[in-house]
Amino acid sequence: MPEREPADLLRDVLAHADRAPGAMALIDARGRRTDYATLARRIRTTAGGLRERGLRPGDGVLFSIRPGPDALVVALAVVAAGGTVIFADPGVGAQLFTARAELAGARWAAAESLLHAAAGTAPARRYARRRGLLLPDYAALGVRHLYSGPWLPGVPRGAVPLRRLAGPPLDPDPDPDAPAVVIFTSGTTERPRGVVHTLRTLSAGLGMLRRRCVLGPGDVVHTDQLMLGLPALAGGACWSLPGTPLDPARFAAQLAERAATHAFLVPGDAARVLDVAPHWPGLRGVLLGAAPVVPALLRRVRAAAPDAEVLCIYGMTEAPPVAFATAEEKLAHTGPGDLMGTPAAGVRVGVVDDELVVGGPQVCPRYLGEPAHERVATGDLGRVDDDGRVLLLGRRKDMIIRGEHNIYPGLHEPRIAALPGVVDALLVGLPDDRTGDEEVVLAVVLEPGALIADVRAALGAVVPGSAFPDRVVAIDAVPRAGRTHKPDRDALRNSLRNSPRNSLR
């Protein structure tokens, strides 16, 4: 067994509070500010309150709270108390959510009271369903409940409000090799897949980000992404939260109002902010990640923030980060593939059967319910050039990336194909060369007399909002290839690119 050592992430955040208690740690979406002393006190007393109420080391906590000070405090307090934060997205649909919850075996759930209300009463469920929100019934989970926000109808009896969790301060000493977080990335209702990270692997990865991005006291990092907000706090910087969902105009205004020095965006969101605010003065760093970054977008970002280093981060949930590339490096690359850049210090990237494989101290030790491993396959086709740089040549998976959402077609196509009037269905992504984002297109084969309008109207009952198609088109037949006659998604994408848009938006 590895020798016990302090958990770097928690230790660094709390140590900075001891060194600079009055320094600003957080600015929330409404502009409210929290200093390091207050943040550290809340983490310690919330961890103590969780222990007082029965949370034991190793307990899992299903976590469905939007980014903000309360969410950050509770997540860090759970880890400080020895528990495991299980990030549970309610927008994936009730069936998949339930399958994930059963696999995780959590004893607790922390959710917003609004989610309880939306799923806990029949009128609210009908309203949510009409908007494509297939929310799970949290009250039906056999767990102990914590909730944020005001009490609302639907909050389970006995649920504890987060504001009443304070207890005797707990000085964190979690096992760095115990599970700290679980993040679900893919899989079906029959076989969901969750990435397990320990404090050791999280601290290693976040340390790589902090050192490469040089985040420290005096910096203001503007993002809603936990994986960059935490390195900012560990380095003594201020984490500025823009609020969700993204409002491009508000995001741009906050950059100036809060004197942000760094910003992180997924490429699709960066394009939306640039559309309303083409100038981002004052930034020293712009970080882009979670999806391919096309040259046209890189040029727009460089023009918007001419004094900033524009850095593209290649990584995966199992191994954050893998490699870094500056805008200049990517734009100068004229060879085949998309340049992902130089691996972070200590990261090992290899190729097995044309697929990129990653090892290193930041790699998750296992998937939930699966054996331990030392390296992970990325699902990306690629190679490592003579200079040790990673080149991406394509995606092995069928996953579609839209904004910050990863959409798995196989999760939704069977339910769409079962709708009245639908013979077959296929979801594909069409890349936007301007933004690097993907348009989600649903292609359906219809029964005689069936209408696209009727199909689209019925989609809200079977497809969550995060995966709802941007466009629905009718096709004569799903193209197929190979001995097994699997759907040929490339052929469909080519057909859609070259044909008129017989769609209903």
- Which domains, from first to last, does the chain contain? 8-176 (3.40.50.12780), 400-504 (3.30.300.30)
Contact 106, 60 (CB under 8 A): yes
β-bridge partners, 425: 444
pLDDT band of 6, cuts 50, 70, 90: very low
DSSP state of 82: T
Nearest to 189 by CA among 422, 416, 410: 410
Q: Mean of the pLDDT values across residues 171-176?
A: 89
pTM for this predicted structure: 0.81
Q: How confident is the model at residue 4 (pLDDT cuts 50, 70, 90)?
A: very low
Confidence of residue 109 (pLDDT cuts 50, 70, 90): very high
Please state at what angle helix 122-130 crosses helix 113-120, rounded to 10 degrees.
100
CA distance 204 to 12: 12
Contacts of 52 (CB under 8 A, 6+ apart): 167, 168
Provide mean pLDDT across the span 430-435: 78
- Predicted local distance difference test score (pLDDT) of residue 415: 78
Residues 6+ apart with CB under 8 A from 242: 29, 222, 223, 224, 250, 251, 254
Residue 103 has pLDDT above 80, yes or no: yes
Give the percent of the chain with pLDDT over 70.
91
Summarize pLDDT for 253-300 with one digit per residue, the tens.
999 999 999 999 988 889 899 999 999 999 999 999 887 787 878 889
Mean pLDDT of 77-105: 89
Per-residue pLDDT tens over the stretch 214-227: 889 999 999 998 88
For 122, residues 6+ apart whose C-beta sits below 8 A from its C-beta are: none
pLDDT of residue 139: 80
* Amino acid 144: pLDDT: 95
As a dihedral over the C-alpha atoms of residue 243, residue 244, residue 247, residue 251, rounded to 10 degrees, the angle is 30
Among 209, 220, 229, 198, which Cα is nearest to 71's? 229
The mean pLDDT value for 489-494 works out to: 89
